[in-house]
Amino acid sequence: MTRSILIGTAYGAMAGAFWGITFLAPELVAPFTPFQLATLRYLTFGVVSLLILLPRLKTLLPRISFKAFRALVLLAILGSVGYYSMMGVAIQLSGVAMPSLIIGFIPVTVTLAGICRHNAVVTFRQLIPSILLSTAGILCISWQNFFVGSALHHTGPLLQAVGLLMAIGSLLGWTLFNVINSDWLKKLDHITSDEWNLLTGVMAGILSLVILLPAAFFWPAHLPTTGWTRFFLISCGVGLFSSTIANAFWNRMTHLLPLTMVGQMILFETLFSLIYGFLWEQRLPTIWEAAAFLLSVSGVLACVRAHKNSEASHSYH
């Protein structure tokens, strides 16, 4: 294992540890909505990013092409406001476990996207075991949610279905984010990964301002006095640690690792979010949740093994 892979994996683990907090945040700020949490989180991300970039903004802006600017807008939507709003709804309707494990399916979706977009050595046929294992994991957590989830989270099957759809939407958005972000980081030689992360943060902050008015319109009418302080502290904390810092780690990792390995690193987010969720709910995982996690991990390992076997085969020839 090369030094870059070791460092990249360490960056991925640190990003996952900070991102895992985001799955618990919607539970902590209720009755505030995930939409409002996302708005303040990414406004914080934008403000912090802008403050860090201010000293070099004049020299940095001329280096950003129109295509790069357009990509930053799309990345801010896919990987920030849109993604986290959908995930937050899924968490409030279904709890922490199901969205965490749905997002855990990203290693396979990103790898498949990489095969479609790049001349990868791994074929679709080699990934069939990984896809089957990960799909089985999703089926387990879906069964858990529809037949046990309503008892755990006091929501009916219809709301559980909405939560599942929101989680799947987050999965698709985050997959696209990883593919597009990886492509841009690989071809940018005049902007560092940290600068690209901060520029994405500024764009996310601008988008959060655009949606601030509709977010205020749906603000709960009656809140405890202490609810505001709690909401602001948690939202700003998530914006600082789970956006500014975690995204910086993720971009450094993405710059070091190939796309087919980038997706595997999301397993750290899944692991940490499940640990935080079970600690918060003060319970052990159910049989279905444990099975889903083991199947998801097995799917990731099968994906890595297929990639290694293919590389070994090409090296031999």
The burial class, CB within 10 Å (0-12 / 13-18 / 19+), for 232 is middle
Q: Which of 59-73, 105-119, 225-239, 250-264 has the highest mean pLDDT?
A: 59-73
In this prediction, residue 122 has a pLDDT band, given cuts at 50, 70 and 90, of low
The burial class, CB within 10 Å (0-12 / 13-18 / 19+), for 222 is exposed
Range of lowest pLDDT (44-48, 141-145, 158-162, 235-239): 141-145
Distance CA 18, CA 32 (A): 22
Model pTM?
Answer: 0.75
Mean pLDDT (the chain) is 80
Domain extent listing, the chain? 3-316
Query: Which tens digit of pLDDT belongs to each residue from 6-45?
Result: 788 889 889 999 988 887 887 788 777 777 787 888 899 9
What average pLDDT does the segment 193-209 reach?
A: 90
What average pLDDT does the segment 90-100 reach?
A: 75
What average pLDDT does the segment 153-176 reach?
A: 81
- pLDDT above 60: residue 142: yes
Instruction: Give the pLDDT of residue 209.
Output: 84
Instruction: Give the pLDDT of residue 316.
Output: 47
Q: Give the CA count within 13 Å in the CB-facing half-sphere of 260.
A: 22
19-22-27 Cα angle (round to 5): 155
